[in-house]
Every structure is written in structure tokens, then in C-alpha cells.
Chains A and B, each alone.
Chain A
Amino acid sequence: MKILLALDPSTDTMDEALRFATEKKADLTALFVLDSTWNDYTGHDWLSGSGSRADFLEYARDAEITSETDIIAKFRARCPSACEIKTATGRVTDEILLELTEGKYELLIMSHPFRRGLEMMRDAAGVILKQANCSVYLIRDNQSHRSASDVGDLLVASIAT
């Protein structure tokens, strides 16, 4: 079985994905997507000097790279050996869907809400559930009141392939 984990800051999701992959003896691949849609999100800005806008986009890109380093380090600390980690750049949901298609995965595991880049403003899970060609396992990103395994039992969402 091939499983794709879409990485975001949730360590609960990382832990649950590792637990589930171990239990199913599955191959787990983690994907981190650097969000490149800041330019479009700031489309309302038409007054800034070009320096101002360029500075902001560079600043947002640097913040994305810092997130990448932090989140991948957290995942590596949990999964020192067997897991493959991939990175991509683009619109987060598009890149996840592309990897699902190209990698022929049977299951996607991701947090809900999904807090990666501008997806925190959007409904990543809704988009993925509509378009994914495999089953999707959503982990509620609410670490305060339930354990990861409880969440796993509650939030398995399957769609027809």
C-alpha cells in the first residue's frame, strides 16, 4: 500500500500517519508544498511601489522556506529512516493532487483544517475530497481535546476512485 502524507505544522497528523503506515505495513511518502500563490492573493494591491511588493513576496517566500525547514525537521525526528520526503512548489492543493496522480497512491493523509501557506484561508480538504483519485484520511487539527488515534477512528473519509 502507498500512502501520501501532506505535511503541515500538525504533529498529530504526522504521528497518526506514521502509526497507520506501520500498522498497515505501507510505504509512507511525505510531501511538503511551498505555497507560490502569494502573488495572486495580494492581487488587490495596486498601489505599492514595485520595491514594496517585491520585498513582500521575497519575505513571504523566505517564511515559506523557514516553514519547510521546521516542518520537515519535525517529521524527520519522528521518522528517521524509511520515509521518503518530497517537496514541491505551487498551489498547495494542485501539487498534492498532482503527486497523488503521478505516484499512484492509495491513501492520502492530511490535517483538517490544513494549515499550509494560504490554504489556512481556504478549504483544502474540500477541494481534495472533490478531486482526489484515492481515499482520503482527514485528521482534525485540534490537539487539545482528543488523542490522535481517537481522531483517526472518527475522521476517515473515503471517496470512490
Chain B
Amino acid sequence: MEEKHGMTKVVAIIPGLAFMVLTLYILRTYVEPWMTTAVILGQKGWLVKVLHLNYILLAIIAGMLYRNLLWAGKIPAWAEEGFRTTRLFIKAGVMMLGSLYTIQSLAKVGGVAITLIMTFVFGTILFVMYYGRFQKMDRSLVGVMAAACGVCGVSAAIATTPAVRAKPADVALAIATVLGFGIASMFISPFIGHMLHLSDYQFGAWVGTGILNSGQVLATCLAYNPTIAPGTAVAYGEIWNVVRVISIPFVVFFITMWYWRAEAEAEHVTLIGIIKDKFPIFIIGFFAMTAFSSLGMLGAEGSATIQLMRTVMSWIFGLGLIGQGAYIDVRELKAAGGAPLKVGLAAGLCKYALALVVVLLFVSKEANF
């Protein structure tokens, strides 16, 4: 597709974006209220009470239906540029989420988050390295799968691929594996959370640790509790997410060193070089918002500014998740297979189940947030 610039690009964005806004408007204004009153199987609000559907899950489902049914597997040209803004929306939303915290509150739960995340990230990486070798997988692909399963799915796979000289086609299979697992866990986790009566803190800690893809952590937390405020699932889950995101350059460095250690033509990389190249800059925006919040620059809890920001965030995430859903091509996920699927599923399931056990055993219902 020809790259567009300037005003041409802005104009090209409008149709797809307008379509996403209209979809979200319909979901929030008509579909969600209807679900709370609709009587299904003799129960009022069955879709909400039993299936735990809300506008977040509906947004993802709508995106998937557009891509896979309405558009037969390909976002049409008129909507393509608009749907590409998804990444921008979610990044902006995550930056704004920084306003839910103060430096003091981050310090209170940050220690638990860092301990859990680092244990699971490096534990998963070592597991994939061992099991991948057992499955006789190519070392490059083991490196990519270790990053994808250990840190945050697609982003980590992409960051690691050039460093370990993996074949892009293999990377596509690895991505399909982690996305497939993540999508399943995105719909199953709220059920399990409600069944086990997990608090928002426990749920955020669990999915923040156990789900492979950061976008899906965000969606799952919002599916569990769509409220965006301090002390909700998304506020806790996002702390875990941010710790993971910060760890990406370190993980890439670790895997790169592991890969080149066994290669004849060793490539010289430095941690500083990787941090400069791979550090996700928008995380600085997240901490800037936390600093503003700590200094009281956004107003007190309940102020008009805070309320407005949260309303904007709920729309931003809704739009972003319609777009994320539209990037899920079921046919592409079905192509996952072979050793990457075995290794990815084993690593993903172990991480998901172990994280739940650890949270149930060691994480209290309430956080001093």
C-alpha cells in the first residue's frame, strides 16, 4: 500500500476512525444497556451476569467479526488507515492510566509486581530455552519464542527477531501461537476470576503475570471490571504491564547474549545500545502522568478533570480494542502449529496456571493502594 503523508493521511484516517467511533457508540449506548435488561434463559441480564459481557469484550468481538466475517479476512482499503490508529489510541490511553497512581502507591505495590514479574519472565524464558531445545527447534526461533512467552507477546517477539536472526515466517508462526493463547485467556480469565471470587488486586496481579500479551492484559482487566479508577483491576494489572514493558530491553539483551554465545560470528551488542534502541518511550509519558498526579496537578479524586480523563480513557480503550479485534485474523491463528505451538502452549499454560496458584497463595485480597 502506498504510504500517505500530511493532510492526505489525516483524510485517509477519517472513514475507518469514524466507523470505529460509530461502532463503539452503538455498543455503549444501545447494546450494553440492552444486555443488562434482556431476559435470556429465564434470567434478566444473563449476558452480563453469566457471560460477563461488557462494552470492552463487545468491542473486541465486533472488531473480530468485522475482520473475519464482514470483510472476509482483510481490512478494506477505505478503513485501513483509520484502524492503524489503534496503536496510537492504546499508547495514549496507557500514558493516561499513569494518572491513576501516585508515586507512593506505586512504591507500595511495585515491589510485589517487580518480584512476581521478574520471576515469571525469566522463569518462562529458561523454560522455553530448555523445552525448545528438547523439541529440536532452531535456536533463533527458541529466542523469539522465549521473548514472546516471557515478556509480552508480539512486541517482545518483534524486538528480538533481528537480534537473533530469526526467519520472519517463523516469527509469524510464533506470533500466531501467542495471540491464539492470549485471545482464549482473554475470554476465559474473567470467568475464572469471578468463579474464584478474586479481588481486583488479585485479578490484576494474576492476569498481569499470566497472560502473554500486554494488550490482552489490558482488555482482560477491563473485561473483569470496566471501571477505570484507582483500586480497580485495570489499575493493578497495568502496574504489572508496565514492569513487563520496562523489562523488554533487558530481556532482548539476555536472549541476544544467549544466542550469540553459541554462534561462530559473534555480534557485539551492549545493554546501553539495546535500551536506547528498544525502550518504549511512551512509558516515560506514563510516569510523567503519575508525577502530575502525585503533585496534585490533576485535581483531587472526583474532580472534573479526573472524571473527564477517565471518560476519555474508556472511549480510547474501547476504540483501541475494536482495532485490536480487527487485527485478529482467525485463519492466520489457525496456521499456528508444530514445535512453536507445543512450546508456546506449554509455556503459556504453565505460566497462566502457576501465576494463579501464586496469587491465591501469596497475594492478599486487598492492596494498601
A interface with B by C-beta (< 8 Å): 36, 38, 40-53, 55-56, 58-60, 63-64, 90-91, 115, 117-118, 120-123, 127
Contact = CB atoms under 8 A, between A and B. Distances in A.
Contacts of A120: 169, 172, 335
Nearest to B179: A44
A127 to B, nearest CB: 8
B332 interface: yes
B266 to A, nearest CB: 19
Given A40-B75, A52-B158, A59-B162, A47 B327 contact: no
B331 interface: yes
B278 A51 contact: yes
Nearest to A118: B172
B175 interface: yes
A110 to B, nearest CB: 17
A152 to B, nearest CB: 26
A105 B158 CA distance: 39
A46 B169 CA distance: 20
Interface of B: 1, 73-75, 80, 83-84, 86-87, 90-91, 152-155, 158-159, 161-162, 167-169, 172-173, 175-176, 179, 213-215, 245, 248, 276-281, 320, 323-324, 327, 329, 331-332, 335
Given A46-B87, A51-B277, A63-B167, A56 B74 contact: no
Contacts of A123: 331
Contacts of B215: 44, 46-47
B154 A45 contact: yes
B167 A43 contact: no
Nearest to A120: B169
A91 B329 CA distance: 15
A44 B176 contact: no
B331 A49 contact: no
A54 B245 CA distance: 18
A117 B335 CA distance: 13
Given A42-B154, A117-B169, 9 more contacts: A43-B86, A44-B327, A46-B90, A49-B280, A51-B278, A52-B278, A59-B161, A63-B168, A91-B1
Contacts of B169: 115, 117-118, 120
A43 B279 CA distance: 18
A46 B317 CA distance: 13
A48 B335 contact: no
B214 A47 contact: yes
Nearest to B163: A55
Contacts of B74: 91
Contact of B155 (A41, A46, A121): A46
B280 A60 contact: no
Given A47-B152, A47-B248, A49-B277, A121 B176 contact: yes
B161 A56 contact: yes
A45 B277 contact: no
B278 A48 contact: yes
Contact of A45 (B155, B162, B176, B278): B155
A41 B161 CA distance: 15
B331 A52 contact: no
Contacts of A41: 172, 175, 332
B281 A44 contact: no
Given A44-B327, A120-B335, A122-B73, A53 B158 contact: yes
Contact of B279 (A42, A49, A56): A49
Contact of B153 (A44, A63, A115, A118): A44
A120 B335 CA distance: 8
Nearest to A37: B1
A155 B88 CA distance: 46
A42 B1 contact: no
Nearest to B335: A121
A48 B83 CA distance: 18
A122 B332 contact: yes
Closest 9 CB pairs of A and B: A43-B327, A47-B155, A59-B162, A46-B87, A121-B335, A56-B158, A44-B154, A45-B154, A121-B332
Contact of B280 (A47, A56, A59): A47
A38 B349 CA distance: 28
